[in-house]
Structure 1
Amino acid sequence: MPSTHTEDISVGQLGEAGILELLNASFSAYATGEGVLGPGDDAAIIPAPAGNFVISTDAMNEGHHFLRHWPSGIRDSGYSTGWKLAAQNISDMNAMGAVTSAISISLAMPKDTPADWVSRFGQGVANACRWLGAPQTIISGGDLTRAESISTVITATGNLVGDAALRTAGHDVDGFHLIHTGNVGTAAAGLMVAQAGDVHDLSREELRMLRLFFRPRPRLDQGPAVANRVSAMMDISDSLLTDADRLAASNKLYAAIDDAWVDAKAAHLQRVAEKNDVDPRDWVLTGGEDYGLLAVLDPDLPVPHRWEIIGKLTNKPQDRPTVTGWDHF
């Protein structure tokens, strides 16, 4: 069945072959490359020039990680779900200092899922790779199955530029800078708007926060760019406090976050926070899903371009709120 007229067709009407046609059309520019065997066989073949590769898996489930219809009246056509799935997974490659080589996608869904949702989901995946700094990524295939609600899993592989950037440094890093690149607090603000806002009455600031929640903007070129200059690195998915404490604990230290930096970031969220009676500092410190990068830097080294010093590692315990960020359970 043609993949260009999908608005009133369900995946049950298309069947597996038709669904694959839709997805392959969305991924067509990202399914081939030198030495690559992409979709169409029992498994894909992806080159690993250095003889090894980095691998990571992420899942998103309807009703838990995303909704197709939000309380605010916002509707996700599928595009934002695909974008976010790709962004969060490739962010893990970025945090390791790796350049993503391929992604494989598993999609489970009910028979009455609109075919147009699937097509736009695929477009979101492909465009996230293109616009976030990972255009070399091969979309190598995946799996389809039926389920009671939509569930999708993505597995990414990547090639290291140099040595891997790990959470644990190979030396003492007490007193080293904590540095950050990317957005912070914006996805948490956008989630508030998606849940409690009114689609017919949104300010410019609220629309911006919504866009950054549905389609986060991790800087996917920054991990490989600094991997050989920083002592340790990870991405921020659950919150600044949660992940900074994880990074510090991996080095048997504590994370001291600079209050002035938090205040400066919170100021950009102030108008949306006031409308929702929220302290914007809470979004900066405990909000997740911006997928910025957090790294440990020797204070004798220059701060890389597009990064900021946000605090330091210390041997002194730090005060923390009861809830520091997202926890799946």
Structure 2
Amino acid sequence: MLETPLTVADLTESGLLARIFPRLKGASGAGALLLLGPGDDAAIVGAPDGRTVFSIDTQVQDQDFRLQWPNGHASTGYDVGWKAAAQNLSDINAMGAQATSMVVSLTLPKETQVSWVEDFADGLSASIRELGALRCSVAGGDLGRGRELSVTVAILGTLDGRDPVLRSGAAPGDVLALAGTVGRAAAGLAILESGHSVASLAPGLRQFVDAQCRPFPPLASGPLALEAGASAMLDISDGLVRDAGRMAEASQVVVDLDPESLKLLAAPLAPAGRLLRTEPLEWVLGGGEDHGLLATFPAGVQLPRGFAAIGSVQALAGNNSTGVNIAGRPADLVGWDHFAD
């Protein structure tokens, strides 16, 4: 006779926390700045240079992720935990900073299985460790009951005495460069939303599903860009065109993308494009959630390891507004908007 899976309704809050906390202890490395962790009313985290970089993000079931996808694939707790950590670590990275701690709030329907929550904690911890955020610890959080599953992560970081890289510093003549990937997570999302089961995918296509469920932001690249003298930088979470447009608006410039570089970015997506009869360039321009870094560097600066030039920054001319061009012509794909889409 099969045992009925244990759900969160079968445990007290303290009982559930007792299953989570041990799974989070291995996330941080020797450089961690957590002075007091879970167990008290609040955590204490060191701030070496007196400044704290802060960000927060929420994922809501069926808005930001699905537990069951149209193609039959099930998101594991590990997937959701990994992605919750990765996207927040990427925001700190985009400032040229390094993450020091995060707190996590979980809203759980009463029927949520305890094993899913434990899996979530494992994914969160593994993401911090495997992405290389060795100074980051999980400092605590909150548990609550609700009708839909929701995950909120607040994250802190340190600049170690340096000035942050803002999205508003791009200047005419700068080189536009990318670290990480674009379009792969969007291709993975399209597969998950299709009728093609993950089990039936040809070799090489599963990587796109993984890019959507467990993104791999280039955390080493943010501090390297800061050291190299990046003039502006931001995380690509909502699509290359939309996020480049945000940089252009903040800096009051025009960002011009190089079509040959875009073709190179689209080439690895060709197998998914053939499967779904989609032009891969659409994913490159409009797809988000790879969490690569878009940065600008003054002309003559050697691009740091991991960055590749994909365009340039141009001055506003006449009555032209800020925006994104491809070889001088306006780009027409805008990417993801939480409220408009």
| Band of TM-score, shorter chain | over 0.9
Q: Spell out, residue by residue over 1:84-143, the C-alpha distance to the aligned partner (whole angstroms, 9 max, x if none).
A: 011001101000111100000000011110111100111111111011120221100011
Which residue in 2 is equivalent to 1:238? 238
Residue type matched to 1:139 in 2?
Answer: V
Secondary structure of the residue that 2:67 maps to in structure 1? coil
Residue type matched to 1:210 in 2?
Answer: V
**Residue 83 of structure 2 contacts residue 214 of structure 2 at CA under 8 Å; is this kept in 1?**
yes
Match of 2:335 among 314, 321, 325: 325
**Residue 182 of structure 1 contacts residue 218 of structure 1 at CA under 8 Å; is this kept in 2?**
yes
**Residue 27 of structure 2 contacts residue 129 of structure 2 at CA under 8 Å; is this kept in 1?**
no
Indicate whether 1:184 and 2:203 are aligned.
no
Instruction: Pick closer, same or farther for the CA change 1:272–1:324 going to 2, 3 Å.
Output: same
**Residue 175 of structure 2 contacts residue 297 of structure 2 at CA under 8 Å; is this kept in 1?**
yes
Secondary structure of the residue that 1:92 maps to in structure 2? helix
Indicate whether 1:55 and 2:65 are aligned.
no
Instruction: Pick closer, same or farther for the CA change 1:194–1:7 going to 2, 3 Å.
Output: farther
Which residue in 1 is equivalent to 2:249? 249
Alignment of 1:1-329 (within 5 A): 8-30=5-27, 36-161=35-160, 162-169=162-169, 173-196=171-194, 197-228=196-227, 229-315=229-315, 318=325, 319-329=329-339
C-alpha displacement of 1:262: 0.7
Instruction: Pick closer, same or farther for the CA change 1:208–1:76 going to 2, 3 Å.
Output: same
Instruction: Pick closer, same or farther for the CA change 1:71–1:34 going to 2, 3 Å.
Output: closer
Q: Spell out, residue by residue over 1:135-188, the C-alpha distance to the aligned partner (whole angstroms, 9 max, x if none).
A: 22110001111000100100000000311111112xx71021001100110000
C-alpha displacement of 1:24: 0.4
Provide the alpha-carbon RMSD of the alignment.
Answer: 1.7
Residue type matched to 1:270 in 2?
Answer: A
C-alpha displacement of 1:30: 3.6
C-alpha displacement of 1:7: 8.3
Q: TM-score with structure 2 length normalisation?
A: 0.91
Measure, in 2, the Cα distance between the counterparts of 1:48 and 1:204.
46
**Residue 7 of structure 1 contacts residue 115 of structure 1 at CA under 8 Å; is this kept in 2?**
no
Secondary structure of the residue that 2:264 maps to in structure 1? helix
Q: Spell out, residue by residue over 1:201-231, the C-alpha distance to the aligned partner (whole angstroms, 9 max, x if none).
A: 1112220101111000101121112213111
Measure, in 2, the Cα distance between the counterparts of 1:314 and 1:113.
51
Measure, in 2, the Cα distance between the counterparts of 1:262 and 1:7.
51
Residue type matched to 1:193 in 2?
Answer: I
Q: Spell out, residue by residue over 1:30-83, the C-alpha distance to the aligned partner (whole angstroms, 9 max, x if none).
A: 479566100000000000011111000000000100111111111112101110
C-alpha displacement of 1:200: 3.2
After TM superposition, the runs of 4+ consecutive aligned structure 1 residues lying more than 2 A away are: 30-35, 315-323
Secondary structure of the residue that 1:179 maps to in structure 2? strand
Q: Which moved more, 1:278-287 or 1:192-201?
A: 192-201
Measure, in 1, the Cα distance between the counterparts of 2:307 and 2:210.
22
Secondary structure of the residue that 2:204 maps to in structure 1? helix
**Residue 103 of structure 1 contacts residue 155 of structure 1 at CA under 8 Å; is this kept in 2?**
yes
Measure, in 2, the Cα distance between the counterparts of 1:7 and 1:61.
26
C-alpha displacement of 1:245: 1.2
Measure, in 1, the Cα distance between the counterparts of 2:18 and 2:264.
48
Secondary structure of the residue that 1:122 maps to in structure 2? helix
**Residue 31 of structure 1 contacts residue 140 of structure 1 at CA under 8 Å; is this kept in 2?**
no
Residue type matched to 2:246 in 1?
Answer: R
Residue type matched to 1:179 in 2?
Answer: A
**Residue 81 of structure 2 contacts residue 121 of structure 2 at CA under 8 Å; is this kept in 1?**
yes
Residue type matched to 2:87 in 1?
Answer: Q
**Residue 34 of structure 2 contacts residue 100 of structure 2 at CA under 8 Å; is this kept in 1?**
no
| Identical positions, percent | 37
C-alpha displacement of 1:323: 4.0
Measure, in 1, the Cα distance between the counterparts of 2:155 and 2:33.
18
Secondary structure of the residue that 2:125 maps to in structure 1? helix
Which residue in 2 is equivalent to 1:3? none
Uncovered stretches (5+) of structure 2, i.e. residues with no partner = none
How many residues align? The count is: 322
Secondary structure of the residue that 1:295 maps to in structure 2? strand
Measure, in 2, the Cα distance between the counterparts of 1:299 and 1:191.
36
